[in-house]
Structure 1
């Protein structure tokens, strides 16, 4: 039967009614090829130009060696597999690989007695990491765009109890940036799920005596629906023995089985697999809270803030003069915010509102356009003319660099909340205070004021639970793009 293209709408990823054939092109092989070519060019071109301009006769050789070494490092760290190509953070891994590349070439240089100019070689390698990060980001965006149009996806069959099936299908349907399209469900028991995907087959609640009682209907459904992967949601009726027997049948036809444990927003690096007494277990490592990584973050915060204050000193002066001339009142607005562990601190910002803004806020309470604890109005009448420009380019946030220097804030972290916002937090929302608030963060680079309160909390909790130095670097890189675009800034 010919494949009929079926697009995936923005808010659904399941196939209603009878299972039509989803346009599927298999694994997007050319994405890996494009990544390899992009990485090779990112290393070879700048190295060749640097040595050619330096008058070296071996510029082509150096370029070839740099490209080969860069591809070797990237391949060894598994950067070209499908899972890596769809990852959001590309800047962090690229920097890590670049450090390995520099170390590798330094060893090769020492071992071979190479006498090429060291500074020229090092400078020529600098573009490798940012260029590769850009290439992989563009590839990921194209891959996501194809998936939203129904291409480069995998057809999935979901097995589990009705409520669990509904939960998983609903979760997958909320986003369109992943590879799974649910084409059928297999509920365990007599209860019918509410998922839009059709019921392909059904399993009984009791573990059958014969393995084929489970495997036969599941295999028949996978063949009929041309399923690429089977997702199983564990529950009281899907025992370990039953799951193992089902895996035998699926693997005999080379169909992968994925067990969905129900964990959400846990970074893959924190999850490991253990085998104890024949039992397969998931080990979820705690978030980073101490050690070399946290020390690095603290040092980077203070050094980075100090460097930015020095470099942006002319901008500080220009903004201060503009605020002073535009409207009466202090140049810097100081406000009490809540930091890590619920400790209050005084946060500084360039003033963007009239001096009686706090009093006017109570009069504007009924006009709040945000759905949660924050108070946001797209056309806030309290904002001055210069204030709108400052907010558009996030220049009002610059004095917070001094808060970073004092240790109250970090360069990257959740948005610093107001005391009255924290007073209404529940136990889940209070977890946002487990780390220092940040000058920028996932909230700022993901839409800022355009996000709902639930989305804001989810992003902050994702940061708290999965913080890493590489993740901070990725946020900082994305911040530049968001500031230029002005997305959600008001």
Structure 2
């Protein structure tokens, strides 16, 4: 255990040293550029180690003081977001956003202190350039690290041997998830289960190796590093496992009984001496919700102004292409089941709603939604504006009114909601959006169940950074027209 702790600390120390090296090079590189207005990539050893060279430079003492602040803040926030862990714990895009947040918060710290002490040595260029360069550099070397670790894990290096207690539904699901995620670094050896009927069964190549009472011997025999218990209701059994494995160098993890609910929607607290878990519908509440609304108003208002020429051109094209109104207005279901008027540019023939019953048999979507790739009701202009989501632009007015948000679950039709179960109804706990996880993950190519799962994940794991990531990912999806029909 001590050896593993020392190795973990050494790895963390190396990561910090690498980060500090890059931060130092970028910080003082920008400083030298600021005072000389030229990039110098080569310095003599005498210059670099000559105290007089640095002490005679303009504003050097101020920059050196704030250098200490920015490095301490950067290391703090990078550690805060788990970027010094030895394994691979998040996806590449998520790691990028974590690095971005850490750098932005670090530079905000310096900016705030610079303002507080009325320091005028920093230019906006230095703040902006440092944010971009530090973010890209710190993320890029982690991208290289990720690929190196993945290659080593796929070759069998640094993997931890793991045994799962409980070969039931949850245990098998966990084993499957770990098998498809080699980046987590676990090699599932098999199961421990007291059900005699499972001893001869094969679970996707894994077998029951022992019963719970002789788990300690199995841990020693197969050099198990971690035990994962998937039957938390068996409290006495868990106590026995902990007792018999206490003397061995093995980590014990317990999967909670309601593990499907154990996301960011669970809040741990205490009522006096009694611990509890509170189910939170969504983190989209309080001041974060106010900030989200403010962001929606600013962006939607800006979008209406900037995109007004495109909307006028679209309206003219629709009017010239087919008879009927330019805008299509429809009742949709919003937050908590409230109805509102939903706006789109008309992309179908005027009597599209009446023709729906005739096309019901040709529906290509599963669940209570209607989708046809070659829908005969779509006009020529409609096909183009639907492919590139231009028909969605009037929904910026829905956002401005407060009926919708920029990001969120798509607002369903009332007849679709009538067919919802308890799981699907959760989509209506938040304000619907123009774009969302479903749109950046496949749009109309997704199954109805997958669509619902993505919406629920968004609701339970919402953050401003998730909204921003979805908005940025929407741009290439819209430009390519992938999955739109």
TM-score normalised by the chain length of structure 2: 0.77
Q: Does structure 1 residue 479 correspond to structure 2 residue 474?
A: yes
Aligned to 2:48: none
Pairwise CA distance, 1:404: 0.6
What whole-Å deviation, never above 9, does each CA across 1:389-435 have from its counterpart, x for those lacking one?
Answer: 22222221111010011111111110111111111111221121111
What whole-Å deviation, never above 9, does each CA across 1:226-284 have from its counterpart, x for those lacking one?
Answer: x4432111255x325x424423555644332221114126435845487996x986665
Aligned to 1:191: 197
Shift in CA distance, 381/93, structure 1 to aligned 2, threshold 3 Å: same
Tell me the SS of whatever aligns to 2:341: strand
Pairwise CA distance, 1:176: 7.6
1:250 and 1:256 in contact (8 A); partners too: no
Q: Does structure 1 residue 121 correspond to structure 2 residue 126?
A: yes
Pairwise CA distance, 1:59: 10
CA distance in 1, matches of 2:13, 2:474: 27
Pairwise CA distance, 1:52: 2.3
Aligned to 2:304: 309
Shift in CA distance, 355/40, structure 1 to aligned 2, threshold 3 Å: farther
Matches within 5 A, 1:145-156: 154-156=160-162
What whole-Å deviation, never above 9, does each CA across 1:285-337 have from its counterpart, x for those lacking one?
Answer: 55335311111112221222111111222221222223233333222211111
Shift in CA distance, 151/163, structure 1 to aligned 2, threshold 3 Å: same
CA distance in 1, matches of 2:355, 2:23: 54
Which protein has the larger Cα radius of gyration, Structure 1 or Structure 2? 2
Tell me the SS of whatever aligns to 2:330: strand
Q: Does structure 1 residue 365 correspond to structure 2 residue 360?
A: yes
CA distance in 2, matches of 1:448, 1:362: 24
Matches within 5 A, 1:249-328: 250=245, 252-261=247-256, 262-264=258-260, 266-268=262-264, 270=266, 272=268, 285-328=280-323
Aligned to 1:218: 218
2:70 and 2:107 in contact (8 A); partners too: no
Aligned to 1:403: 398
Matches within 5 A, 1:230-245: 230-236=227-233, 238-240=234-236, 242-245=237-240
Aligned to 1:353: 348
Q: Does structure 1 residue 159 correspond to structure 2 residue 173?
A: no
CA distance in 2, matches of 1:349, 1:140: 46
CA distance in 2, matches of 1:129, 1:435: 35
Identify which range, 448-457 or 31-40, moves more after superposition.
Answer: 31-40
Tell me the SS of whatever aligns to 2:420: coil
1:233 and 1:259 in contact (8 A); partners too: yes
Q: Which runs of 5+ in 2 are unaligned?
A: 1-6, 38-56
Shift in CA distance, 448/252, structure 1 to aligned 2, threshold 3 Å: farther
CA distance in 2, matches of 1:144, 1:269: 31
More helix by share: 2
Q: CA RMSD in A?
A: 4.1
Aligned to 1:414: 409
Shift in CA distance, 202/275, structure 1 to aligned 2, threshold 3 Å: farther
Q: Does structure 1 residue 75 correspond to structure 2 residue 78?
A: yes
Tell me the SS of whatever aligns to 2:427: helix
Pairwise CA distance, 1:198: 2.6
CA distance in 1, matches of 2:155, 2:271: 37
Tell me the SS of whatever aligns to 2:197: coil
CA distance in 2, matches of 1:330, 1:295: 35
What whole-Å deviation, never above 9, does each CA across 1:129-172 have from its counterpart, x for those lacking one?
Answer: 86479749957985898699676865432111534433444565
Aligned to 2:188: 182
1:354 and 1:384 in contact (8 A); partners too: yes
Aligned to 1:17: none
Aligned to 2:47: none
Shift in CA distance, 175/444, structure 1 to aligned 2, threshold 3 Å: farther
CA distance in 1, matches of 2:358, 2:16: 55
2:74 and 2:102 in contact (8 A); partners too: no
CA distance in 1, matches of 2:60, 2:380: 55
Tell me the SS of whatever aligns to 1:191: helix
Shift in CA distance, 178/50, structure 1 to aligned 2, threshold 3 Å: same
2:19 and 2:138 in contact (8 A); partners too: no
Shift in CA distance, 120/448, structure 1 to aligned 2, threshold 3 Å: same
Bigger relative CO (Cα 8 Å, ≥ 6 apart) = 1
Pairwise CA distance, 1:37: 6.0
Q: Which runs of 5+ in 1 are unaligned?
A: 1-25, 205-212
Tell me the SS of whatever aligns to 1:127: helix
CA distance in 1, matches of 2:74, 2:36: 26
Aligned to 2:44: none
CA distance in 2, matches of 1:274, 1:178: 32
TM-score normalised by the chain length of structure 1: 0.76
2:154 and 2:182 in contact (8 A); partners too: no
